[in-house]
Structures are given as C-alpha cells and as structure tokens.
Amino acid sequence: SIYKMPQGLGVVLEEWKCLDKEYQQLQETHRMYLQKLDEISKLQNNCSSSISSQRKRLKEVSHLVEKCIQGPSEEDAKTLDEINEKIKMRPNAFSEMEAFLPKKNGLYLSLVLGHVNVTLLSKQSKFAYKDEYEKFKLYFTVLLMLFSFICYFFVSYRFLDAILNFLLVWYYCTLTIRESILITNGSRIKGWWVFHHYISSFLSSVMLTWPDGNLYKIFRNQFLAYSLYQSLVQCLQCYYQSGCLYRLRDTEYRHTQLEGFQSWMWKGLTFLLPFLFFGHFWQLFNSLSLFRMAQLPDCKEWQVSAPTITHANTLQTCKPLPLFQSFYLRKSWARKF
C-alpha cells in the first residue's frame, strides 16, 4: 500500500522549504550588508585622511601663491587670482564633505555618551532627527503646560511641585544632548541657544532642591504662572521652528542665507519676539523678587539667591536683533532702487 502523507504535514513541509529558502537569501543579504559596511568604513577613513591632507597642502600652496604675487606678469597674475579664488572656495567644499563623515564628539557629548559615533550619514536621516527633536519639544512642552496648570489652579503639594521641577531638569538636560548631536551633524543652532538651556537646567535643579518653607510658598505661584506662560510661548516657538524646517526641506531657500537665518524666517519671528521679550522681562522680575527675598532676615536658603542670574536670558534674545535690523535695512534700501 502507498503511504499517504497527512495533508497538514505536507503543508508544513512546503511552508518550511519556502521559509528556509528565504532564510538562505537573508543570510546572503546580511553577508553583503556587513561587507558594504566594512567598505563604507574604509571609504570614510580614506575621505577623512584625504581631507586632512588636502587642508595641509592647501595651506602650503596658499603660501607659495603669496610669494609668487610679487612682480608677476599680467597673465601670471590672472592665473594666480584664479587659483586664489579656488583656494577660498575649497574649505566650504571640505565642510560639506565632512557633514556626512564621522567626527569626534565635543567635550559635552564625550562626557555624556562617550566616544559613540552620532553622525547621521544621509540628509533624510538628518531631517528626520531634527523633525523628531521639534516634536519632542512640542509634546513635552504641552505636558509641562498641563502640569503647571494643575499645580497652579487645583493642587498645592510640594511633592507634585518636585515632580514638575524634575521633569523640567530632565527636559532641559535632554535638549542639550539632542542639540549637541544636531550641531555635530551640521545644524546651525547658535551657542547662545544651547547655553540658555544649560542655564534653564541649572535653575530647574535649584527649584527642585528648594526646601518647603515660607519663602518657597511666597514664590511658588509666581514661578508656576511664569512656567505656564513659558510653556505657551515654547509651543508657539515649536510651531514656528517646525514650519521653518519643513519650508527648508520643500523649497530652494537654502541659497539665500543671512548668517544662518533665512530671510523669510523673520516674518514669523516678528510675531514671536514680543512674547519672547515679555517672557524674559518676566524672568528679570522673578530675579528681582528673589533678590529682595534674599535680603530678608529669615532667608537662609541658598536657592533664593542662585536663580537671580535668569536676567542673562534677556541679553541672549537680543543677539539676533542686529541681523533683523540689517535684513530690513537691506530690504528697504533695495526698494529705493
């Protein structure tokens, strides 16, 4: 009698053969992937060493050109001018190449992450990380705004205040790490913006360690009201910055730059500036209030006098204003002609 294989076992064997064939293909694909990774690593090292060599030789050629400038013929002078122009353009080309090559982390990232490579190797990856950074800011700011609203209007427990301040510390510390990674990947985030977040994380940690007492209760509602307003302004900032990010990706405005800013970015920034300045003057008011509290005879907490440095953030906001003024002066001057 002919042995008949059970129908269920036949289906299993057929599926297993198909699965095993796909697995063999997967192994081959993974082997090729590892081979390409090794090739990419070698190419990255070759590009980095070649760029370093090119920079060194470019300096030598530049010195030779300077020596040859003295007393050349008209035709030779023209050739030297062309070489000089190309020498001036070469560093920008090197910077564009290095944007997609691994680089050493700065001091802060080295302390936090060690010597892990955080360089993103494609424009799509860089944009996706920047977009995720903006979404993180927006979502967490909404959370902080709701928490501040609840603490201000409904509850008055030091434990919940401590949770809010801990979230602020974690949020600003995380921002500094993410911004350092973005800077490593070529983002033009200004140093004063990152420094502002270092100050904010320090001040949040001061509020976290402030013991519950009469002076804390006096300042509590003022701080929560400011935190609520700041969260609202940060939501507006996130909306503005996300719009700038998507517009940079979808248009060709990259070629009309104004020291890291785009000319059309000022249109949204003019709406934000009054809110930003009001918030920073509120910080100044907070620091003056704390300074007066520090003069009281019963003030023994060091946390009262430490946050008075918040008025420095007002000066940080003023830094882009010369660019703002310069842009509109150029625009009005162009209209005249």
204 is in which domain, residue-wise? 108-331
Residue 267 covered by a domain: yes
What ranges in 99-190 are assigned the alpha helix state H?
Answer: 107-113, 123-153, 158-184
Task: Report how many domains make up the chain.
Answer: 1
Give the range with max mean pLDDT: 54-58, 82-86, 100-104. Answer: 54-58
Bridge partners of 258, per DSSP, are 261
Between CA 235 and CA 237 the distance in angstroms is 5
Residue 88 covered by a domain: no
Residue 245 covered by a domain: yes
Between CA 243 and CA 237 the distance in angstroms is 10
Between CA 211 and CA 220 the distance in angstroms is 12
Residue 216 covered by a domain: yes
Measured CA angle at 102 (ends 96, 104), to 5 deg: 110
Residue 307 covered by a domain: yes
pLDDT digits (tens, 9 = 90+) for 58-96: 988 888 887 776 656 777 778 888 888 888 889 888 888
Residue 129 covered by a domain: yes
Class of residue 317 by CB neighbours under 10 A (exposed 0-12, middle 13-18, buried 19+): middle
For position 143, what pLDDT does the model report? 94
How many residues belong to the chain? 337
Residue 169 covered by a domain: yes
Between CA 87 and CA 70 the distance in angstroms is 18
Residue 77 covered by a domain: no
| Single pTM value for the model | 0.76
For position 336, what pLDDT does the model report? 37
Task: Give the list of residues 6+ apart from residue 214 with CB closer than 8 angstroms, or none.
Answer: 298
Between CA 308 and CA 314 the distance in angstroms is 12
